[in-house]
Amino acid sequence: MHLLEVENLTKRFGGLTAVDNLSFTVDEGEIIGIIGPNGAGKTTLFNLITGFLKPDSGTVKFKGEDITRLEPYRIVNKGIARTFQVVRPFHHLPTIANVMVSLESPRGSRKIEWVKSPERKALELLEDVGLTDMMLEPAEILSHGDLKRLEIARALATDPELLLLDEPFAGLNPIETDFLTKSVRTMHMDGHTMVMVEHKLHALMKLAKRVIVLHYGAKIAEGKPEEIAKNKKVIEIYMGRKA
């Protein structure tokens, strides 16, 4: 049984088809990359999977269960977590409290040792992403790179099986990119399955075992990173055709 099954997913906004009859699967333990030019429907896809948008047709199945019509918080509590492309911190709360919010959810609080001391668990998670020295600062003063790390910590705090990362490398300098690459590998080893939307292809290609290419909402290619890099159609949509 696949961990995540997306079948014939379609979403239209007025006359624009954002996601066009898309189907793919994700198995446990994989790292999947989703690439495609801007406007290809990648974030819409995430929104559809996590319940923030409802599709016009098609289904999303998680561990065999149909989650298409569920509310976002229920989906999170089933084991899918996501980060946002534009970071959404809780700016009035200190960094550690940001993570503690996730620990208040039913899924985040179910592990007994977490509930006994959510501060401790939050601290651990902050250590994993390297934000401990900013622990008590209000989230609004964090830098962009730090905020991205906070997003990941917050997502991890919900104890997900599947992690959806929406452009996690956007706006990071080389050092932060390096750190995040290592973090992703660590998370993978910890047993999290990951689907990543990313534009920074070199970072993505290093991490992903399988890459899906979207264009105008439809899947035009799927395969190993090396294959995709050589795929003529993919090169065309990124580079344009030779006149």
* Footprint of another protein (CB under 8 A): 47, 50, 52-54, 71-73, 76-77, 81-82, 84, 88-94, 96-98, 100-102, 104-108, 117-120, 123, 135-138, 154-155, 157-158
Written as one letter, the residue type at 157 is: A
Whether 48 contacts 220, CB under 8 Å: no
Nearest to 139 by CA among 198, 64, 87, 212: 87
Nearest to 184 by CA among 156, 212, 207: 207
Of 156 and 211, which has the nearer Cβ to another protein?
156
End-to-end CA distance of the chain: 46
The C-alpha atoms of residue 98 and residue 2 are separated, in whole angstroms, by 32
**Least distance from C-beta 75 to another protein, angstroms?**
9
Task: Give the three-state DSSP class for 2.
Answer: coil
Written as one letter, the residue type at 113 is: E
Nearest to 170 by CA among 142, 148, 186, 195: 148
**Least distance from C-beta 48 to another protein, angstroms?**
11
**Least distance from C-beta 117 to another protein, angstroms?**
7
**Least distance from C-beta 141 to another protein, angstroms?**
11
Of 33 and 108, which has the nearer Cβ to another protein?
108
**Least distance from C-beta 149 to another protein, angstroms?**
15
Of 50 and 183, which has the nearer Cβ to another protein?
50
Of 68 and 203, which has the nearer Cβ to another protein?
68
